[in-house]
């Protein structure tokens, strides 16, 4: 009987593990239908080398992270001459002279010595047909980001944290980079203490991307604004990009949260912006933003002026009815607390939503409690 009971216990444990590794929910919005690694047998990397290998190979994979993968000090360090564009106070970020950035654009800034971890400079390449899942709150990648580039497609990243990438230095590395890709879903991901961008979509087409239920944590000892509020939040700079930003918690930033430019159509819906010392949106030429059902709390400048692109800020119920022709429903008003103005109703770009997969929108009064309960790693 003892042997039978042990067998039952082993089977039960295996079943519990199997149930824990499934993707939770499904992507809404532009990346709807993404399948990642699908039904591939899960793999459990135990070393940084195994993780890099699984992420970059040509096989469909479900990759489960059950521990912290710390890349710091795995590729050595570099010491060189950088610059201090925002001063040398202890809370100010310094800059690596990447691609002669200091030399060409900050020649009047003081020169300083910089020592940074090489692993952070370039993220891990993720090939097509991959699902990356964290187990509970255990799946953490430190000191190195993730790169989805060179035509990669059909990728799910869910329930992990990416943290501690040379936070003292601009150009120290990005948490998640997408460039020349398609069908990418980033969900329940936490990013914190990043040198440059938490999430960046590069200048090549990233096509269809959904970023949902994620936590952009801008608290840092170093920032470009020298106040502990991270400036480089989300940069959407693609060519013909379709981005859904839904249910995210964007906290303690000071700018570029997000910056939208290039040729990017952004649907920002039911996100919670809280505590920003500068601006949230920056909308450059070629940036087209539909923002609805969001909450802005303690955001002094919701959108930086001037707006060079186009914005539909869902200002009131009458104006919001114009969305019906393109989304199949009226848009939802945003909510504000101790925040600046956000009222513009460009409609010429709304036709870009016609025929696309559109995320649903709840009333802004439900957003704060929902986002706090669900956003980020460990909140599936």
126-177 tens-digit pLDDT = 999 999 999 999 999 999 999 999 999 999 999 999 999 999 999 999 999 9
Predicted confidence at residue 58, as pLDDT, reads 98
Selecting among 147, 193, 208, 256, the annotated active-site residue is: 256
What is the pLDDT of the chain when averaged over all its residues?
95
Predicted confidence at residue 21, as pLDDT, reads 82
What is the share, in percent, of the chain residues with pLDDT greater than 90? Answer: 94
Predicted confidence at residue 20, as pLDDT, reads 54
- What's the average model confidence in pLDDT over 95-115? 97
pTM equals 0.95
- What's the average model confidence in pLDDT over 32-48? 98
12 pLDDT higher than 90? no
22 pLDDT higher than 80? yes
Predicted confidence at residue 19, as pLDDT, reads 47
Predicted confidence at residue 11, as pLDDT, reads 40
306-356 tens-digit pLDDT = 999 999 999 999 999 999 999 999 999 999 999 999 999 999 999 999 999
> Which residues are registered as beta bridge partners of 186?
157, 211
- What's the average model confidence in pLDDT over 30-58? 98
Rounded CA gap, 33 and 41, in Å? 20
Banded model confidence at residue 4, pLDDT cuts 50, 70, 90: low
Query: What does the domain layout of the chain look like in residue ranges?
Result: 36-374
- What's the average model confidence in pLDDT over 188-215? 98
Predicted confidence at residue 18, as pLDDT, reads 46
Q: How far is CA 370 from CA 79, 89, 217, in A?
A: 44, 38, 17
Q: Any idea which residue has 């199949």 for tokens?
A: 328
Taking the domain 36-374, which CATH number applies? 2.160.20.10
224-252 tens-digit pLDDT = 999 999 999 999 999 999 999 999 999 99
Can 329 be counted among the known catalytic residues? Answer: no
Predicted confidence at residue 15, as pLDDT, reads 44
8 pLDDT higher than 80? no
């Amino acid at each position: 009987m003892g042997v039978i009971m042990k067998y039952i216990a082993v089977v039960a444990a295996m079943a519990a593990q199997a149930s824990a590794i499934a993707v939770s929910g499904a992507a809404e919005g532009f990346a709807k239908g993404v399948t990642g690694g699908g039904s591939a047998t899960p793999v459990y990397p135990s070393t940084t080398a195994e993780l890099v290998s699984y992420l970059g190979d040509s096989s469909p994979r479900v990759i489960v992270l059950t521990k912290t993968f710390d890349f710091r000090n795995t590729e050595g360090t570099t010491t060189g001459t950088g610059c201090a564009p925002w001063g040398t106070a202890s809370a100010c970020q310094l800059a690596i002279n990447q691609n002669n950035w200091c030399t060409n654009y900050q020649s009047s800034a003081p020169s300083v010595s910089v020592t940074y971890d090489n692993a952070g400079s370039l993220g891990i390449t993720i090939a097509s047909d991959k699902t990356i899942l964290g187990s509970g709150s255990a799946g953490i990648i430190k000191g190195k980001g993730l790169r989805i580039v060179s035509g990669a497609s059909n990728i799910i990243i869910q329930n992990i944290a990416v943290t501690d990438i040379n936070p003292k230095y601009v150009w120290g590395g990005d948490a998640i980079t997408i460039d020349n890709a398609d069908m990418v879903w980033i969900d329940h991901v936490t990013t914190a203490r990043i040198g440059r961008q938490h999430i960046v979509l590069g200048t090549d087409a990233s096509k269809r991307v959904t970023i949902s239920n994620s936590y952009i944590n801008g608290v840092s000892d170093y920032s470009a604004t020298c106040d502990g509020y991270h400036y480089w939040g989300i940069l959407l700079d693609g060519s013909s990009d379709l981005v859904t930003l839904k249910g995210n918690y964007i906290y303690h930033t000071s700018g570029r949260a997000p910056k939208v430019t290039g040729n990017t159509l952004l649907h920002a819906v039911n996100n919670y912006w809280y505590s920003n010392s500068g601006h949230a949106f920056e909308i450059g030429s070629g940036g087209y933003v539909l923002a609805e059902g969001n909450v802005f709390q303690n955001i002094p400048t919701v959108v930086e002026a001037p707006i060079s692109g186009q914005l539909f800020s869902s200002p009131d119920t009458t104006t919001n009815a114009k969305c019906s022709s393109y989304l199949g429903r009226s848009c939802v008003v945003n909510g504000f607390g101790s925040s600046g103005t956000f009222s513009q109703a460009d409609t010429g770009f709304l036709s870009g939503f016609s025929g696309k997969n559109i995320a649903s929108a709840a009333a802004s009064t439900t957003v704060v409690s929902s986002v706090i309960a669900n956003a980020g790693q460990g909140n599936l």
